[in-house]
Structure 1
Amino acid sequence: MRTGPGADSAPAPAPTTTPTADRTSMFSSLKIRNYRLFATGQVISNTGTWMQRIAQDWLVLTLTGSASAVGITIALQFLPMLLFGLYGGVLADRLPKRPLLLATQSAMALTGLALAGLTLSGHVQVWHVYLTAFLLGLVTVVDNPARQSFVSEMVGPEQLPNAVSLNSANFQSARLVGPAVAGVLITAVGSGYAFLLNGLSFLAPITGLLMMRSAELHKARRAPRGKGQLREGLAYVAGRPELIWPIVLVGFIGTFGFNFPIWLTAFVDDVYHSGAGAYGLLNTLMAAGSLTGALLAARRGASRLRILVGAALIFGLLEIVTAFAPAFWVFAALMAPLGMFGLTVNVTANSSLQMATDPQMRGRVMSLFMMVFIGGTPIGAPLVGWITDTFGPRVGFAAGGAVSLIAAACVGLILARVGGLRLKVDLRPGLRPHVRFVPRDPRTADEQRAREPAEELTPAV
Structure 2
Amino acid sequence: MTVSDPATVVYRQPGFVPFLIARLFASAAMQIQAIIVAWQVYALTRDPLSLGYVGLAQFLPMVVLLLPAGDLVDRVDRRLLLHFSWGVQALCSALLIALSWRADTDVRLFYAVLVLFGAARAFTGPTLQSLLPQIVPRGLLGKAIALNSSIMKIAVIGGPVAGGLLYPLGPVVAYSVTLSLFVLGVLMLFAVRIRYRGDPAPAEASAWRRFTAGILYIRHKPVILGIISLDLFAVLFGGITALLPVYAEEVLNVGPEGLGALRSAIAAGAFVMGLYLGVRAIQRRAGLVMFAAVAVFGVANIVFALSREFWLSFAALFVAGAADMISVYVRLTLLQLATPDAMRGRVNAVNMLFIGASNELGEFESGVTASWFGTVPAAVIGGVGTLAVVGLWMSAFPALRKVDRIEDVAADAPPPTKP
TM, length-normalised to structure 1: 0.74
AA paired with 2:121?
A: T
AA paired with 2:273?
A: G
Report 1:447-458 matches (<5 A).
none
Report 1:22-421 matches (<5 A).
22-23=7-8, 28-55=9-36, 73-74=54-55, 76-115=57-96, 118=99, 122=103, 133-185=114-166, 188-189=168-169, 194-213=174-193, 217-225=195-203, 226-227=205-206, 228-258=209-239, 260=241, 262-268=242-248, 272=253, 274-275=255-256, 277-302=257-282, 304-388=286-370, 393-416=375-398, 418=399
CA, structure 1 residues 287+115, in 2 after alignment: closer, same or farther (shift >3 Å)?
farther
CA, structure 1 residues 327+52, in 2 after alignment: closer, same or farther (shift >3 Å)?
farther
Q: CA deviation at 1:305?
A: 2.0
Q: CA RMSD in A?
A: 3.7
AA paired with 1:342?
A: D
| Residues 287 and 400 in structure 2, CA contact (< 8 A), matched pair in contact too | no
CA distance in 2, matches of 1:357, 1:144: 16
CA distance in 1, matches of 2:108, 2:387: 35
| Residues 180 and 281 in structure 1, CA contact (< 8 A), matched pair in contact too | no
AA paired with 2:336?
A: Q
Q: Secondary structure at the match of 2:274?
A: helix
CA distance in 2, matches of 1:119, 1:269: 34
| Residues 394 and 401 in structure 2, CA contact (< 8 A), matched pair in contact too | no
Q: CA deviation at 1:281?
A: 3.2
| Residues 81 and 374 in structure 1, CA contact (< 8 A), matched pair in contact too | no
Q: Secondary structure at the match of 1:155?
A: coil
Q: CA deviation at 1:165?
A: 1.4
- Percent identity of the aligned residues? 23
Query: After the TM superposition, which of the residue ranges 120-129 and 296-305 deviates more from structure 2?
Result: 120-129
CA, structure 1 residues 394+239, in 2 after alignment: closer, same or farther (shift >3 Å)?
same
CA, structure 1 residues 103+89, in 2 after alignment: closer, same or farther (shift >3 Å)?
same
CA, structure 1 residues 237+158, in 2 after alignment: closer, same or farther (shift >3 Å)?
same
CA, structure 1 residues 201+127, in 2 after alignment: closer, same or farther (shift >3 Å)?
same
CA, structure 1 residues 358+412, in 2 after alignment: closer, same or farther (shift >3 Å)?
same
Alignment deviations for residues 17-43 of structure 1 (CA, whole Å, 9 cap, x no partner): xx97343xxxx2221231221111222
Give the match for residue 10 of structure 1.
none
CA distance in 1, matches of 2:136, 2:348: 17
Q: Secondary structure at the match of 2:255?
A: coil
Q: CA deviation at 1:352?
A: 0.9
AA paired with 1:349?
A: R
CA distance in 2, matches of 1:330, 1:126: 42
Q: CA deviation at 1:81?
A: 4.1
CA distance in 1, matches of 2:372, 2:100: 30
CA distance in 2, matches of 1:324, 1:121: 49
| Residues 221 and 360 in structure 1, CA contact (< 8 A), matched pair in contact too | yes
CA distance in 1, matches of 2:147, 2:188: 17
AA paired with 1:292?
A: V
CA, structure 1 residues 325+382, in 2 after alignment: closer, same or farther (shift >3 Å)?
same
Q: Secondary structure at the match of 2:198?
A: coil
Q: CA deviation at 1:255?
A: 4.0
Report 1:7-22 matches (<5 A).
21-22=6-7
AA paired with 2:234?
A: I
Alignment deviations for residues 297-324 of structure 1 (CA, whole Å, 9 cap, x no partner): 2234348222221111111222232233
Q: Secondary structure at the match of 2:135?
A: helix
Gaps of 5+ in 1: 1-18, 422-436, 438-447, 454-461
Aligned residues: 399
AA paired with 2:17?
A: R
Alignment deviations for residues 92-127 of structure 1 (CA, whole Å, 9 cap, x no partner): 111111111000011122334444555675557876
CA distance in 2, matches of 1:325, 1:258: 17
Query: After the TM superposition, which of the residue ranges 321-330 and 354-363 deviates more from structure 2?
Result: 321-330
CA distance in 1, matches of 2:130, 2:143: 14
Q: Secondary structure at the match of 1:223?
A: coil
Query: After the TM superposition, which of the residue ranges 147-156 and 374-383 deviates more from structure 2?
Result: 374-383
| Residues 16 and 136 in structure 2, CA contact (< 8 A), matched pair in contact too | yes
CA, structure 1 residues 339+420, in 2 after alignment: closer, same or farther (shift >3 Å)?
closer
Q: CA deviation at 1:148?
A: 0.8
Gaps of 5+ in 2: 410-419
Query: After the TM superposition, which of the residue ranges 38-47 and 113-122 deviates more from structure 2?
Result: 113-122
CA distance in 1, matches of 2:110, 2:368: 20
Q: CA deviation at 1:274?
A: 2.7
| Residues 149 and 274 in structure 2, CA contact (< 8 A), matched pair in contact too | yes
CA, structure 1 residues 193+310, in 2 after alignment: closer, same or farther (shift >3 Å)?
farther
